[in-house]
Amino acid sequence: EDKVVQSPLSLVVHEGDTVTLNCSYEVTNFRSLLWYKQEKKAPTFLFMLTSSGIEKKSGRLSSILDKKELFSILNITATQTGDSAVYLCAVEVNNNDMRFGAGTRLTVKP
C-alpha cells in the first residue's frame, strides 16, 4: 500500500527560527514529490521534485529529495508569522494519482 508520512504533525516556533519539515514515502511507482502550503482554504503549490540531491529554492523556502532513502525535507529559514500554515507533501504515483501525507501544521509566533 502506498504511504506518505509527514513529521512532525505540528510545530510551534518563533519568528526568525529555521524549521525543517520531513516527508517520507513508500510507493510502488514514484514519479514526483510535491510540496503544498495550505492556509485557510485550498492548497497552493510550492515545489515539485523529481531528482535526488537537487535543491529547489524559492526565497526563504527550499526543498530537496533523497530517492535512495525515500524522503524529502522542506526548510524554511527566518520564519515569519505569514508562514503559519499546514504544509502538505504529496507523491505522484502514476499519471493520475497523488498520495498526500497528513500534513505538518506550522505555527509561527511573533
Partner 1 sequence: NAGVTQTPKFQVLKTGQSMTLQCAQDMNHEYMSWYRQDPGMGLRLIHYSVGAGITDQGEVPNGYNVSRSTTEDFPLRLLSAAPSQTSVYFCASRRTRDEPYEQYFGPGTRLTVT
Distance of alpha carbon 79 from alpha carbon 64, whole angstroms: 18
Of the pair 89, 108, the CB lying nearest partner 1 is at: 89
What's the closest the beta carbon of residue 44 comes to partner 1, in angstroms?
A: 8
Q: Which residues bind partner 1 (CB under 8 A)?
A: 4, 9, 31-32, 34, 41-45, 48, 88, 90, 92, 95-103
Distance of alpha carbon 94 from alpha carbon 107, whole angstroms: 33
Contacts for 40 with CB less than 8 Å, ≥ 6 apart: none
What's the closest the beta carbon of residue 48 comes to partner 1, in angstroms?
A: 4
What's the closest the beta carbon of residue 29 comes to partner 1, in angstroms?
A: 14
What's the closest the beta carbon of residue 27 comes to partner 1, in angstroms?
A: 12
Which of the 8 DSSP states describes residue 31? -
Of the pair 32, 75, the CB lying nearest partner 1 is at: 32
Of the pair 7, 18, the CB lying nearest partner 1 is at: 7
Of the pair 43, 76, the CB lying nearest partner 1 is at: 43
| CA distance readout (Å), 70 to 2, 15, 46 | 12, 30, 19
Coil/strand/helix, residue 106: strand
